[in-house]
A and B are shown apart, each in its own frame.
Chain A
Amino acid sequence: MKYKVSIGLETHVQLKTRSKIWCGCPNRFGQPANTDICPVCLGYPGALPSLNREAVRLTVVTGLMLGSTINRRSKFDRKSYFYPDMPKNYQISQYDEPFCTGGHLNINVNGGSKRVEITRIHLEEDVGKSIHFEQSSGVDFNRAGTPLMEIVSEPELESPDEAFAYLTALKQVLLYGDISEGNLEEGNIRCDINCSLRPMDSDVLGSKIEIKNMNTFRGVHRSLVYEIKRQIGILDNGGVIQQETRRWDDDSGLTSIMRTKEHAHDYRYFPEPDLMPIVLTSEEIDAMRSAIPELPADRRNRFAVEYGLPEYDAGILTSDRDLADFYEAAAKISGNYKAVSNWIMTDMLHYLSEEGIGIDKIKITPEALAELVDLVVQNTINMPAAKKIFRILLESGGKPTAIMEDKGLAQISDSDSIDVFVEEALSSHPSSVADYRSGKKAALQFLVGQVMRLSKGKANPRAAMESLKRRLDSGDPGN
């Protein structure tokens, strides 16, 4: 039978704040275990939480970027949760009055685009990290109290590809807004998956399977491919899907059961007595709205229109906010939009992937790239020389004109100087001259190459070719 797949994602995002959500301990990754903690992180009796203003701002800004309704009034709630990684035995979260309601995210998948509705965005605290040993478990509370924003999507994703595209687009928005470091290796973005299947002609959602704690987008894709196949296998054999929570094992490529509905937790939410409600004024919300950056999708469209770039180039250049900023700065100085794009799309991105570094680590400046483009346009340097200079700019930075002078890479375009090389090339290669005259036009390219070699790459290739042709076609071999 054919089935319709419905996937919803609950994405947890660690926010980029200096301090934790309830206390002044640093919010950072990779410290020795249990060193970034205090009585609040450890849930000591009497320790009280104090809300980090920046965590609220980042949550609201995310909502604004995703077109959510920002609730004027929000509050925090306690969620009962018995697990050693949470010493208070409750997690402070938001239940019925989250910061943001609704919203949407546009995703690109298989050449088309699709709008995915967002249910809500709320703020909560991250918990400690547990490490399992043979006989016991160990807990590191450094992560406890990291501001954690949860973005819940409607179950509108219909394939593993769409789920992957959703996460990719969401991460891009989070990076554009400077909301999160967005580093998956450090667990900055993690998600829980809901997945259900139903017959094509049914309107009723099937039993929901939850897959917990995914920390790579690739893992989300793989686990969904597996899970959908598993559920189809059960349904096709007349079986019934039990609502349950499953765990993905990336090594074996399988999901396995964690708990069934019978043991589902009763979280007993109730209003958090230690935190006061948050009321946002329209002035505050407007101020945050005016500070949000242009969204990736809007910027892509604008690049295509404003700079006349192909959709593909515009997509690549806007995939990363810093890269887009770099392009835009260089394009504005240069005015030669396509040439600037070409340098970035080919040599620069190739260099970045070769070195495995991000645009933030690059030595070349937008001003230098614009200047380089200018030198090529004005025929001051030829393309091979420009490539040499570009490589130096990537590796060490500097100014193109200074490098050109320093390395003697200026192009020779004046005809007297070029003619000297042309004459030498013709006299050294009489057989090529004869070939050309007997109709083998390819010999011309060889002779241009000789001029370039004799000039150590500095001759203007077009001037060289014109000079060669003039002599060859006029029957004056120059010897």
Chain B
Amino acid sequence: METGTRQNTEHIDVSYVAHLARLHLADSEIQVFQKQLDHILQHVHMLTHLDVDHVEPTAHAMPVENAYREDDIRPCLSHDEVMDNAPNGRGGLFIVPKIIE
């Protein structure tokens, strides 16, 4: 497993994140988003003034655990349906621009 670097949440570098997300932003857009994100983070930063020592970190608002599905097979889509929206298909495959590793 490779571990990705986790960025400090005090500041989000919009141009870096945009690059990672394959988003092409104009300089003016970067400035707008940077300012907006900084505001949001400032707001969230208020949490640091609270005593959360006894609060478990959570990623979900709902107190639900163990939402399992039993290991049963259900119907798939038909191959024709699957390929319907593909801009380019050949030999049953989705054709994409040549992948370079």
- A: which residues have CB within 8 A of B? 10, 17-19, 23-26, 32-39, 42, 50-56, 75, 79-80, 82-84, 93, 95, 120, 122, 130-133, 135-141, 150, 152, 247, 258-259, 264-269, 271-273, 275-279
Could you tell me the distance in whole angstroms from the C-beta of A127 to the nearest C-beta in chain B?
Answer: 12
Number of A-B contacts (CB under 8 A): 143
Residue among B20, B66, B91, B95 making CB contact with A279, cutoff 8 Å: B66
Residue of B nearest to A75 (CB): B59
23 A/B residue pairs, CB under 8 Å, sorted by A? A18-B72, A24-B69, A25-B76, A32-B79, A34-B83, A36-B76, A54-B70, A55-B71, A130-B96, A136-B88, A136-B96, A137-B96, A138-B91, A140-B93, A267-B2, A269-B3, A272-B59, A273-B59, A275-B67, A276-B60, A276-B64, A276-B67, A279-B65
B64-89: which residues lie under 8 A (CB-CB) from chain A? 64-77, 79, 82-83, 88
On chain B, the residues within 8 Å of A50 by CB distance are 67-69
Expressed in whole angstroms, the Cα–Cα distance for A315 and B93 within the complex equals: 45
- With A266-B20, A276-B64 known as contacts, the answer to whether A53 contacts B92 (CB < 8 A) is no
Measured CB to CB, the nearest residue on chain B to A137 is B99
Nearest opposing residue in chain A for B70, CB measure: A53
A139 and B4 contacting across the interface, CB-CB below 8 Å: no
**B90 part of interface (Cβ distance < 8 Å):** yes
Q: Which of B68, B82, B95 contacts A37 (CB 8 A)?
A: B82
Within 8 A of A (CB), among B20-72: 20-22, 59-60, 62, 64-72
State whether B96 touches A38 (Cβ < 8 A). Answer: no
| B3 contacts across to A, CB distance below 8 A | 95, 267, 269
- Bound Cα distance from A461 to B52, whole angstroms: 89
Report Cα–Cα, A152/B82, bound state, in Å: 35
Contact partners of A276 in chain B: CB under 8 A: 60, 62, 64-67
Q: Which residues of A contact B1 (CB under 8 A)?
A: 10, 93, 120, 122, 150, 152
Nearest A residue to B65 via CB reads: A279
A97 → B minimal CB distance (Å): 10
Check A51 against B2 for contact (C-beta < 8 Å).
Answer: no
Closest residue of chain A to B71, judged by CB? A54
Bound state CA distance, A52 and B66, in angstroms? 10
Q: Tell whether, in the assembled complex, residue B79 and residue A35 are in contact, meaning their CB atoms are under 8 Å apart.
A: yes
Nearest residue, chain B, Cβ from A277: B65
Q: Are A18 and B68 in contact (CB under 8 A)?
A: no
Query: Contact: A38 with B77, CB < 8 Å?
Result: yes
Q: Are B95 and A138 in contact (CB under 8 A)?
A: yes
Q: Provide the main secondary structure of the chain B interface.
A: loop
Asked whether B5 is an interface residue with its Cβ less than 8 Å from the other chain, the reply is: yes
A281 nearest in chain B by CB position: B66
In the docked arrangement, what's the CA distance between A380 and B74, Å? 57
Q: Which of under 10, 10 to 19, 20 to 34, or 35 or more describes the interface residues of B?
A: 35 or more
- For B90, list chain A residues within 8 Å (CB): 138
Known: A53-B68, A80-B20. A271 touches B59 (CB 8 A): yes
Of B6, B64, B65, B79, the contact of A269 (CB 8 Å cutoff)? B6
Report the Cα distance A17→B64, complex, angstroms. 25
CA distance A279 to B56 in the complex (A): 14
Looking at the complex, which one of A52, A140, A269 makes contact with B92 (CB distance below 8 Å)? A140
Given A51-B69, A53-B68, the answer on whether A19 and B79 have CB atoms closer than 8 Å is no
Determine the residue in chain A with the shortest Cβ distance to B99.
Answer: A137
Let me know if A33 and B77 touch, CB within 8 A: no
Q: B97 → chain A, closest Cβ, in Å?
A: 6
B10 contacts the other chain (Cβ, under 8 Å)?
no
CB within 8 A of B99: which of A56, A80, A84, A259?
A84
Please give, as numbers and ranges, the residues of chain B lying within 8 Å of A35 by CB-CB distance.
Answer: 76, 79, 82, 92
CA distance A19 to B4 in the complex (A): 30
Given contacts A10-B1, A75-B59, contact A133 B65 (CB under 8 A): no
B95 / chain A contacts, CB cutoff of 8 Å: 136-138
Q: Is the CB of B93 within 8 A of A33?
A: yes
In the complex, chain B residues whose CB is within 8 Å of the CB of A273: 59-60
Are B76's CB and A53's CB within 8 A?
A: no
In angstroms, Cα B69 to Cα A336, docked, is: 48
Inter-subunit contact B79/A267 (CB<8 Å): no
**Other A-B pairs, 12, CB within 8 Å; known A34-B82, A82-B22, A265-B2:** A10-B1, A24-B74, A26-B76, A37-B82, A54-B71, A79-B4, A138-B91, A138-B93, A267-B4, A271-B60, A275-B67, A276-B64
Q: Are A247 and B101 in contact (CB under 8 A)?
A: yes
The reply to whether B73 and A33 form a contact with Cβ atoms under 8 Å apart is no
Closest B residue to A152 by beta carbon equals B1
Task: Output the least CB separation between B61 and chain A (Å).
Answer: 10
Chain B residue at minimal CB-CB distance from A84 = B96
B residues in contact with A247, CB < 8 Å: 101
Residues of A within 8 A of B93 (CB): 33-34, 131, 138-140
Contacts of B101 in A (CB 8 A): 247, 258-259
Structural contact, B96 and A23, CB atoms closer than 8 A:
no
Output the nearest chain A residue to B2 by Cβ-Cβ distance.
A267
- CB of A398, distance to nearest CB on chain B (Å): 38
By the criterion CB–CB under 8 Å, are B98 and A132 in contact? yes
Most buried by B among A82, A95, A138, A258: A138
A130-B99 contact in complex given A56-B68, A265-B4, A278-B65, C-beta closer than 8 Å:
yes
CA distance A37 to B64 in the complex (A): 28
For the complex formed, measure the closest distance between the CB of B59 and the CB atoms of chain A, giving whole angstroms: 3
B66 to chain A, nearest CB (A): 6
